[in-house]
Structures are given as structure tokens and as C-alpha cells.
Amino acid sequence: MLQNHFVRGAPLRPVMTSLNGDNSWLLSFPRPEEERPSSSKLYYHIVFEPWLTGPANIGSSWLIHITTSETAAAQTVEAIDMLIDEVEGAGLRALGLDCRLPSREDASSKVDAVSTAPGIILRIIT
């Protein structure tokens, strides 16, 4: 399904990947072409509202207790990195490039930033 998003030879477009079937997303935005060689990535990846496992309690469990209706597709940083690999690989194929993506040994997490609310970047990872 991801491959259908990419058109060979067309400019890269943003990709939104649901992480938990609710409000957690992996947002992937195309990097400028001149930045791609130095970053070894086609996209800038932001994890938005990272609620991956377990219920959320606000105040205490007897006040507000929220659970997701679905099990998250990505429950760990490693699983998110695998989704990033899929996005990057599909983009490389669409551009007609045969490049090796950095392996887990080559890089730490492939997430570039984490946001907990619109307009609030919790952490930028370099």
C-alpha cells in the first residue's frame, strides 16, 4: 500500500503513517535534495503524540483512564525505525536509486524529532 503513494520519477510527497490506530503518527516530510547526502535520508521523520503502549491516566486511574481500541502497530522505537526504513526504501525505489539504507549498527534511532502537541517539539534528535 505504501508503494502506491510513490510515483516513479515524481517529486517525493509527505507520508503520514498511523502508529496506534488513534492519534499517534509518524510524519515523514521530504528533505531538500541538497540535504539528502549529508543525512543519508530522503525524509525528515517526526513522531507525533507517541502513545504506543498501555493506558493513559490523567490525574489518577479513577479520574480519567483512557485506552486505545487497537493495539499499536509500532510499540517500540525499533518498530518505528522499521516503518521509517519502509518509507525511505519506497522513496529510493520511486527515485530509481539503488542505495543502501543505514543499518541499525550505522545509526541510532532514525526518528528526527518527537512532538507531543501541535506546535510543540519535545525533542529534536541529531
- pLDDT of residue 63 exceeding 80, the answer is no
- According to the model, what pLDDT value does residue 55 have? 65
Rounded percentage of the chain residues whose pLDDT exceeds 70:
67
pLDDT of residue 125: 59
List the domain range (segments joined by +) for residue 47. Answer: 2-124
| H/E segment holding residue 37 | helix 36-39
**Concatenated DSSP letters for 51-72?**
--SS-EEESSTTTEEE--SS--
In sequence order, which residues have a C-beta less than 8 Å from that of residue 60 and are 6 or more positions away? none
- In one-letter notation, the amino acid at residue 12 is L
Query: Cα 80 to the chain's mean position, in Å?
Result: 6
pLDDT band at 104 (very low <50, low <70, confident <90, very high): very low
Number of domains in the chain: 1
Q: Are 55 and 67 in contact (CB under 8 A)?
A: yes
- 102 or 120, which is more confident: 120
- Per residue in 8-60, pLDDT tens? 778 899 999 988 777 788 999 999 999 888 888 999 999 987 766 666 666 66
DSSP, collapsed to helix, strand or coil, labels residue 85 as helix
Looking at 35-39, 75-79, 106-110, which range is the least confident one?
A: 106-110
